[in-house]
Amino acid sequence: MNRTVQFVIGLLAVALAVGAGIYGRNAYLNEVSTYQIPVPINKIPPYTVLQEGMFQMRDMPRTMANLPYFQSLADLKGLITTNGLPAGLPVAKTNAVPASQFRLADAAFEVVSIPVEPVSAVGGQIQIGERVNLYQMTKAQPSTNGQTIKSETEAEHFTVERIASSVLVVDVRTAQGVTAGPTSAESQGNTGANSGNGQVEQVQILTLALDPDLVQDVLDAVASTKKQGGLLWTTLATP
C-alpha cells in the first residue's frame, strides 16, 4: 500500500473521529446544559388568574424544552389554573388554560344563568355568541290622589327599563339542561335523531357573561318575575 493511500485513509479516520467528537459533544450538551423556565414562587390554588409576578425563572435541563410545559412568562399571563400549581415546578399546559375555555367567559365577567320564556326571549332561538339586551317590565302602582281609577288600562300600567345591554351569551339550554337553540337541530341532524325533522329545542336557560356590577340588577329582575308579577324580556342587541 503506497503512502498516498495510507494518507487518505488516515485523513478519513481523523475526519470521522472529529465528526463523532462533535456529535457526542452536542448530544452531551443537550443532556446536561440548562435553560430558564418559569416556575411558581409559591403554591398557586386552582381557579386563579395568573400574573407574571407569581413566577420566577429557574434553571432546568434543556430537554424540558421539548416537553408540554409553559416556556415563558408571556405564555402564562392571563391564564386560569385548572389545578393547584406546586411551588418551584414547571407548569404543565393542561394545568392552565384561557379563562373562556375553563369558565365560559373571560375572567373579568361573572357567569350567570337565568330562566327565560321562549315568548319573551326571541322565540327561544337565541344562540351562543350572540349579544342580548335585558328589559325589566314591572307593574306600576298608579297614584289615585283620592280619585277613582276609571279603567282597567289605568290600573294595569307597566314601566319598562333596560337593565343590561349587549350582554354576551355563552350557553343556551332547555329546562332539562339539553343544548338548545338553532344549533341543536343541526346536531340532531348529524346524529340522525329526530327523524330529520330539524326540530329546534327552545331556549329556557340563558347563560350570560355579565359585568359584576349588573348581576344584582339582573337577579332582582328575575326574582321580580317570580314573586311580583313582573316580566323579564330579552332581545337581540344590534350589532
pLDDT for residue 19: 75
* Contact status, residue 118 vs residue 124, Cβ threshold 8 Å: yes
pLDDT for residue 224: 87
* Contact status, residue 180 vs residue 203, Cβ threshold 8 Å: yes
Beta bridge partners of 97: 80
pLDDT in tens, 49-98: 999 999 999 999 888 889 999 999 999 999 999 999 999 999 999 999 99
Span(s) in the chain for CATH 3.90.1210.10 = 32-102
pLDDT for residue 193: 44
Residue found under cell 494518507: 7
Residue 71 in grid coordinates = 416556556
Topology classification of domain 32-102: Type Iii Antifreeze Protein Isoform Hplc 12 (3.90.1210)
pTM tops 0.85: no
Classify residue 81 by burial, with Cβ atoms within 10 Å: 0-12, 13-18, 19+. Answer: buried
